[in-house]
Structure 1
Amino acid sequence: MHGSRLDRLGEFPFRRLAGLLADRVPPAGRPVLDLGIGEPQHPVPPILAETVARHAASWNRYPPPTGTPSFRQAVAGWACRRGGLPEGALDPGRHVLPVAGTKEALYLAAQLAVDRAGRSRPAVLMPTPFYAVYYGAAAMAGAEPVLLPATVATGFLPDLDAIPAETLARTAAFYLCTPANPQGAVADRAYLARALALARQHGFALFLDECYSELWDRTPPPSGLDVALNDTGSLERLLVFQSLSKRSNAAGLRSGFVAGDPALIRAFAKLRAYAAPVQPLPLMAAAEALWNDEAHVEANRALYRQKFDLAEQRLAGRFGFFRPPAGFFLWLDVGDGVAAASRLWTEAGLKVLPGAYLDGPEPISGAYLRLALVHGLDTTADALDRLVATLASPAATARPDRAALAKGR
């Protein structure tokens, strides 16, 4: 195994964080608060358990790899409603594929794209900072992960015009997270159309990770499926990844879907038949019920807005604070993210993730911390108060180039 692709991968971010904190002890007498991992703590919609119970008789059946017709119909209907598409614009049988959570789907997608591209020295593009699965997927598929800086200077999205022509010519896939993890930046319609145009011009697949799209603050982010069909007239070269983990506080359900280019969906279904788990029928029925219900999502968004109100009250003018357009993370400039994470653990019992752990081999986010505002209001207020008390610094003037982020890009 020495020198293998796996050996060349760094540790997963949360394993790195565990290593950082392993020999450090949080203060006694106050509860530890974990804002490191983006695991929603809001109430689980009751319809989840109720639906699973109603379908208990199907636990003894193998589920179909492409999902039930009713699940695919529910997803296609939701995606059309969400994107303002005409009813029937998405064919449930050709455009939709269920997945056991989008983590496995995003990982397998790189194998699909690299295999189909047939490029020498294939490249897989991704923003940095990034969801670590993109990097691992590209590396294990035998491609070069090409990291595109997504900094305050670029509105926290990659600068598409800065990608070298030589890189585009050998690109097999482009992972783009919008709303972005960790910064919450939103790609606007023009940006998405431009990314699609590049994918079609250079023959690569565009993978849009939209798992945070339903946790918007003021304005719904544009849907990639909507932009593809209404603005470019085609789903060619596009796969959109969606999940119930954040939208419905159902991370343990392990349910999501992939939708888009029917040729890619067909190939993906073939690959998953060999390599991926299939969601049990009672859980698929529960997922179907969740995609058909918006009331719990609206309540979920309202809770996150309240927490961002709290964050704005306590952090405005500090640590480069900005209110993200979507998602549930804070991306704070604390000067040295690793040192700050260590201090917050040992002095405040607060677990947060250093920004550098979301970068590749050459970190560009070393100044940042990522905080997941996934707990209730009281816990969030306590965590923010601990952070300020520990890392207190003179109020800083807001940086003008952050203002564009609030409007999306």
Structure 2
Amino acid sequence: MNTHQATFVRTSMIEGSAPPVAEGGIVHWLRENLFATPKDAVLTIVSLLALAWLVPPAIQWLFIDAAWTGGGRGVCATVAQGGSQPDGWSGACWAFVNAKLDQFAYGRYPLDERWRPTLVGILFVLFLIPMLIPKAPFKGINAILLFAVLPIISLILLPGGWFGLTYVETPLWGGLMVTLILSFVGIAVSLPLGILLALGRRSHMPVIKMLCTAFIELVRGIPLITVLFMASVMLPLFLPQGVTFDKFLRALIGVSFFASAYMAEVVRGGLQAIPKGQYEGADSLGLSFWQKMNLIVLPQALKLVIPGIVNTFIGLFKDTSLVSIIGMFDLLGIVRFNFTDANWASSVTPISGLIFAGFIFWLFCFGMSRYSGFMERVLDTAHKR
């Protein structure tokens, strides 16, 4: 008797099963990131307790009990202090920030002429955004507009005195406008100058190497406040009689040179990280020194040190507040200057203004940091398949 062995062939794939609860979802994330070990669990619980203790009072002070509108110190002072708030009240005085917002942005720039820095700011944003988008076309034209055309427009509009525009002296400039101008000029000058200084320090020509090394070590060895003080107070003493420079221009030069010294060391670290074979390969192709640097070495070196470059930019942006030592009022300086306004004198006005200034600085620095991370991911092609 013949027997036939029954067989079965599946005609469709088995549907994928969901991962076990312990290996996926929120439970898995909590176990891996917050409660992986007893030590992690203790730190997580302590951190949550600290947040539960600190965050609600902070929200209460910053938003719920805050004074948002008003026209004087009365809205930010208690009845016992001559204001309208009940005794024992404590909250942020955002009415002060709202009333002084124009000064925080423009300083003491004349009201009728503030359209000029506003126009420059709009052009800056319009020219900058395409430069920050990797796939945006016409990068060359955009770079010319941002780094060549915009400075010329700014030089005409901001100080004035050209084409019938009223002249506005730089001591009247202030606020966020000064912070952004100092930062942009410092960044635009320090990166190329820092690259040249880094190449000079690695040069085989003794004189070039000695001069670049001396400049870098001298500038890095003194604080920025000393550089600004020297540029503002000591520099005029060495100039011929009747020759002087605008104080704001001195600050721009001092900040740019100071940042370029630090930038040079960041770039030098990237140059030293490039394998020797890259240099030898470029030489074997018969490339000149500048061709080798522009086409082979620098693109790789700058990609490696993006975090260091952006860190220098962030430090430069925050260090602009030191220009107050030479009588210039950046964002922080103009905020502190307005504390002297008797119409807004209260116990919560200073801390409210400082929190606002700190938030603006954090916003710009956090933006630069996030963009740095984005560019690192875009340029990280070494291990992509």
When the two structures are superposed, what TM-score results if normalisation uses the length of structure 2? Answer: 0.27
Q: Could you say which structure has the larger radius of gyration?
A: 2
Q: Return the structure number with greater relative CO, CA threshold 8 A, min gap 6.
A: 1
When the two structures are superposed, what TM-score results if normalisation uses the length of structure 1? Answer: 0.26
- Structure number with higher strand proportion: 1
- Structure number with higher helix proportion: 2
